[in-house]
């Protein structure tokens, strides 16, 4: 009589485990379906995506190329009262094109980038 009760108890535990796993799977599947539905509702409220004709186009003259040139610094005027200059007191002419267009190169033996002065690689 003891053996049959053990088999019935073991079988009922296995059945309960299968039922619990199935219920957990249903819960996870339902949560995923709800997440997809929620995402679709959010996406429906967003602005429509731009059409290809709404995208920017190249100018009729073709692509604009990068221009590299060395610029001369613009001098900051001194205030007569030696007070701080306000933005409206500065002229906005910008910088001028430099006479020497040769790039300044790094010199071997100098301090390296950003003036760190470190030993660097030898």
pLDDT range class, residue 59, cuts 50, 70, 90: confident
pTM value is: 0.37
pLDDT value for 32: 98
The mean pLDDT value for 50-64 works out to 88
Cα–Cα distance measured from residue 54 to residue 63, given in angstroms and rounded to the nearest whole number: 18
Query: Rounded distance, CA 31 to CA 23, Å?
Result: 12
**Cα 78 to Cα 82: distance, rounded to the nearest angstrom:** 7
pLDDT score of 90 more than 60: yes
Question: What's the chain's average pLDDT?
Answer: 78
pLDDT tens digits, residue range 68-83?
888 777 776 666 666 7
């Amino acid at each position: 009589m003891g053996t049959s009760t053990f088999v019935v108890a073991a079988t009922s535990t296995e059945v309960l485990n299968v039922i619990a796993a199935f219920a957990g799977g249903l819960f996870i599947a339902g949560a995923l379906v709800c997440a997809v539905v929620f995402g679709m509702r959010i996406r429906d409220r967003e602005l429509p995506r731009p059409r290809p004709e709404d995208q920017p186009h190249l100018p009729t003259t073709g692509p604009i190329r990068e221009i590299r040139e060395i610029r001369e610094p613009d001098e900051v005027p001194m205030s007569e009262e030696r007070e701080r200059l306000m933005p409206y007191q500065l002229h906005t002419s910008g910088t001028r094109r430099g006479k020497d267009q040769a790039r300044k190169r790094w010199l071997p033996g100098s301090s390296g980038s950003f003036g760190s002065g470190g030993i660097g690689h030898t």
